Structure 1
Amino acid sequence: MFEYWPTEFDPPPHRVVDPPAPVIVHIATAISQSAEHPANTIPLRVRAEGLALDLQVPGTLSAWARTTGGAWICRIQFRIPTGNGRGHLDVDQWCPAAAVRPCK
């Protein structure tokens, strides 16, 4: 994963989590979103079949990386359900560290 990120200092500014660790993902923190519209102005079909970003869901943490500003980001895999719970979108992305917490 980090084969194209050469480092000279120790410890390196990245780390693979092996084995991957279970976490809880706060979707709204993991995914940046534009301003929301009031719920009563959104069509029912959109509320039912759109992605539900205001949830916390289980996920898997597989890596950490440090940014030039000193913050940590993490690579996580998780599932975003639709509003009606009938569908989902599988996601594998880098997110701010604040988007995850360990499973209890």
Structure 2
Amino acid sequence: MPAQPKNIEPDVVELGPALSALADPHRRRVIRDLVHDADGSERSCTSFGLDLSKSTRSHHFKVLREAGLVRQVDHGNWSGVTLRRAELNQQLPGLLDLIGSEPAD
């Protein structure tokens, strides 16, 4: 069975929803980790080392997806996430550099 994208992310990344999503330190950590993954490869949603329940983790990824920061794809029993790097660099230049320069937790 082919991978199925979750709810389609918005075409345009708006500053308000992006900043609101990034206000949470767990979500900012996910984006920071993805910024540092230079190859842009897809990662499992469980690979970020977030010490959170599955439902809370799912909520955080939903917020990131709906804000247009990540693309999430279902692969049956796991979900993969990638950073929408090109869209973010085009629509919100400098944001990923700023997040990437934050110290790790």
Q: With structure 2 as the length reference, what TM-score do the two structures score?
A: 0.27
User: Which structure features the higher share of helix residues?
Assistant: 2
Q: Per chain length, whose mean CA-contact separation is higher, i.e. which structure has more relative contact order (CA < 8 Å, sep 6+)?
A: 2
Q: TM-score, normalised by structure 1?
A: 0.27
Structure with greater strand share of residues: 1
